[in-house]
Structure 1
Amino acid sequence: MAAALALPARNARAADVDVIVIGAGAAGLAAAHDLKAAGRKAIVLEARDRVGGRAFTDASLGPSYDAGAMFIHWAERNPWVRIARELGIETRNESWGGGFQVFASGKPMPEADRQRRRGAFGQIDRRLDAADLSRRDLSIRDLLSDLGPDVSPIASSGLLLSIGEESDRISARDYQRLWAGDDLVVPSGYGNLVARHGAGLDIRLNQPVSAIRWDGPDVAVTTPAGTLHANACIVTVPVGVLKAGTIRFTPALPSRTRNALDGLGMGALTKIALKVEGERFGIAPGTSFLEAGSPSRLMNFDMFPEGKDLVIAYCGGDYARELSVAGPEAARAHVTELLTQMVGADIGKAVTEMAFPAWWTDPFSRGSYSVCLPGRAAAREQLAEPIGGRIFIAGEATAGGGAMTVGGATLAGRTAAAAVARIKA
């Protein structure tokens, strides 16, 4: 549904380009490729100095790891399976590596407590399978509330390491509709794969967009290099950036679009990578250590994945936000302390460097990926509605059942490109 705004007729002035795509993440790349295939001239404006957005393979420590998206989810229908095959890039099934150990305050969790945790985690899927949310949406916390004050927080805590958000801020209806399927990994890096897919496109890096004017004969987009004019614009920046007002829209975004943004938040799934050289401390590569003494402060450690000199810590929700705001040095000290409690003091001495791409405080992300608030499950479709017939918002946030994934963002970018291709230049 287009915004109800009377727009002046386009004049004879030639636009600089047919379509401007803002953001060189998966959605932007997909839109640009499809527009190019349709014979439309498009440029991609990217604020960062690299392609890929929240799909980012970080090699700053030497051995690389995916600092953002890691899995090709629901591989049976995910377009990245075909893209990887066409580019000759290997994908393979997810592996659990060297096993899984659970700790409470740095000490191995008693088996009885561990089994109780496992049973509690399973309650989320069971409750969602049985729940009729067609008439009334709930938060995940409310959906699990009758499990009791001891079990309910444990049951919902697992979402901190998948959605990256507190359970009272997650729509059960939206979570219920998310697609499921097999997961694949990209040994050479999912972020590297996405970046490779940008080849052949007109991508302009280091060009953060500060303003979009859409009440004239065209769309005017302002960057540090100046103002470009186009017949249409596809905006693929994260919801967190749109909500922060980093891009000024003139006129302001329609009330329906603003309302949709109000119904969405950003999770804070976070990875903190430590370079740990030399001794393996008797730990099999790929073992997971989960510090689960507090349900609200889960921290999972991927120990020496694929034999690399890395330990990668994962956390989410308000815990991750606290560490992001505290900054790299505080985060390093905290994570190293947790490691020494589980492994011993020597592992702390073996930590030489760290990498901390904190998505929550990154001005070009402001979070890991979108989360629908309880009662606002329609926000994704509402955000995807065209604005004035010439501006289209697309990304993982508008991907419906594919939300929160690179594959979903890609499908959303293609949908937007198809809509733009129907507009006469």
Structure 2
Amino acid sequence: MAASLALPMHHAQATETDVIVIGAGAAGLAAAHDLKAAGRKAIVLEARSRIGGRAFTDASLGPAYDAGAMFIHWAERNPWVQIARDLGIETPGESWGGGFRVFADGRPMTDADRQKRRGAFGQIDRRLETVDLTRRDLSVKELLGDLGPDMSQIASSGLLLSIGEESDRISTRDYQRLWAGDDLVVPSGYGNLVSRHGAGLDIRLNQPVSEIRWDGLDVAVTTPSGTLHANACIVTVPVGVLKAGAIRFTPALPARNRNALDGLGMGALTKIALRVEGDRFGIIPGTSFLEAGSPSRLMNFDLFPDDKDLVIAYCGGDHARELSAAGTEAARAHVTELLAQMIGPNIRKAVTGISFPAWWTDPFSRGSYSVCLPGREAARERLAEPIGGRIFIAGEATAGGGAMTVGGATLAGRAAAAKVARIKA
């Protein structure tokens, strides 16, 4: 590895920049800022018409909400705490809102069933304290296997709203190493914060990359505007985009890197926001309703968060994939019907709009964030290994314990920039 990093940068005649960064999400912005500080010229290419990636504050309904990332996780070491402070943006602690109610098929869940669920939810953490993972990795489903099919499904259902994936596709080793800590929020929008952090960088929007050639003296990156040449390239697009083959690598990625990609999937944590105007049906703003009648179709509702005319539904796993594939109107009908069962039929008239940025079907995401498959917990580190001494893959997928977060993506982008900066110019 060290030998590949010691390769000199080749200054071909057509080279326009030192480094091309692909993707203007948190990882790409962090890499570009650090490269700029190191005296390296970097161009950031972004496929969308905006920056921020999966950190996106959506104001299409009027009141704004974070359609992607919303928490500054493990704030004790998250770089966004300092970035927000430098920009004068407030990041208070998470509010617990106006209470929490659990439903089963639209009716309030009985106390007995609620206690059963509460006991099941703690099983993952209890078993992680005693399980021996030194011999082999397990899926979370295997970890809970002796609970029986019903209790196992209840115990793992909460992961649909955190990891966004089914329990048989989650590596227990990878889940165990994820960092924990205090959560902060960004009332003005996490996506807006990430977007502001792009100031001062050379970012080119509406430039989806179709090919990366690395068989010459430099790296050639093809976009709709033509081909750019650079001495190195940092690729920060989501794993889902790489797995879909949206970017062609010439030559193909080495087998070790392809194998790393095979060991990662993409979760499908999904938000569906409804504009709800008029009567609030006596609901205290910030109240949460959880529809848990079917553990595989778990859906949580944040009602009028921050006193806004919004109801935001959350779901994950295969249920979220089905809703994403069905489309916006089908999602609106499904969510509205669930609310009508819990609140009453008049909610149907109060719903005046929907925002549904379905990450699973978004061609520039192909999912919410990366998930290590069982037995493939080394995939994150392997994916971050330099390719030919000049291509570096970075993002939340390569962030180890910080995976699945904006903070982790930022740290991974900085790590990649440090590797590039060590290459002899």
In the alignment, does 2:260 pair up with 1:260? yes
Q: Where does 1:163-182 land on structure 2 (aligned, <5 Å)?
A: 163-182=163-182
Alpha-carbon distance in 2 for matches of 1:266, 1:148: 27
In the alignment, does 2:223 pair up with 1:226? no
CA shift at 1:113, angstroms?
Answer: 0.3
Counterpart position of 1:294? 294
Counterpart position of 2:322? 322
Structure 2 SS opposite 1:103: strand
CA shift at 1:132, angstroms?
Answer: 2.1
Counterpart position of 2:374? 374
Counterpart position of 2:146? 146
The one-letter amino acid of 1:16's match is E
CA shift at 1:9, angstroms?
Answer: 9.1
Counterpart position of 1:351? 351
CA shift at 1:148, angstroms?
Answer: 1.8
The one-letter amino acid of 2:406's match is V
Structure 1 SS opposite 2:50: coil
> Cα RMSD over matched residues?
1.3
Instruction: Classify 1:33/1:8 alpha carbon distance in 2 versus 1 (closer, same or farther; 3 Å).
Output: closer
CA shift at 1:10, angstroms?
Answer: 3.6
Structure 2 SS opposite 1:296: helix
CA deviation string 1:261-320 (max 9, x = no partner) = 000000000000000001110111011000000010001000000110000000000000
The one-letter amino acid of 2:288's match is S
The one-letter amino acid of 1:351's match is V
After TM superposition, the score normalised by the length of structure 1 is: 0.98
CA shift at 1:377, angstroms?
Answer: 0.2
CA shift at 1:13, angstroms?
Answer: 1.9
Asked if structure 1 preserves the Cα contact closer than 8 Å seen for 2:12 and 2:218, the reply is no
Q: Number of matched residues?
A: 423
CA deviation string 1:28-72 (max 9, x = no partner) = 000000000000000100000001000000000000000000100
Instruction: Classify 1:220/1:12 alpha carbon distance in 2 versus 1 (closer, same or farther; 3 Å).
Output: closer
Structure 1 SS opposite 2:297: coil
Most deviating of 115-124 and 234-243: 115-124
Q: Which runs of 4+ in 1 moved over 4 A?
A: none
Counterpart position of 2:40? 40
Structure 2 SS opposite 1:319: helix
The one-letter amino acid of 2:18's match is D
Q: Where does 1:49-198 land on structure 2 (aligned, <5 Å)?
A: 49-198=49-198
Alpha-carbon distance in 2 for matches of 1:3, 1:374: 32
Counterpart position of 1:396? 396
Instruction: Classify 1:286/1:216 alpha carbon distance in 2 versus 1 (closer, same or farther; 3 Å).
Output: same
CA deviation string 1:82-104 (max 9, x = no partner) = 00000000001011101100000
CA deviation string 1:73-128 (max 9, x = no partner) = 00000000000000000001011101100000000000110011011001111111
Asked if structure 2 preserves the Cα contact closer than 8 Å seen for 1:212 and 1:248, the reply is yes
**Runs of at least 5 residues in structure 2 that lack an aligned partner in the other structure:** none
Structure 1 SS opposite 2:416: helix
Asked if structure 2 preserves the Cα contact closer than 8 Å seen for 1:264 and 1:370, the reply is yes
After TM superposition, the score normalised by the length of structure 2 is: 0.98
Counterpart position of 2:410? 410
Alpha-carbon distance in 1 for matches of 2:216, 2:51: 31
In the alignment, does 2:244 pair up with 1:244? yes
CA shift at 1:351, angstroms?
Answer: 0.1
Structure 2 SS opposite 1:150: helix
The one-letter amino acid of 1:283's match is I
Among all aligned residue pairs of Structure 1 and Structure 2, give the percentage whose two residues are the same amino acid: 86
Asked if structure 2 preserves the Cα contact closer than 8 Å seen for 1:101 and 1:290, the reply is yes
CA deviation string 1:175-219 (max 9, x = no partner) = 000000000000000000000000000000000000000010000
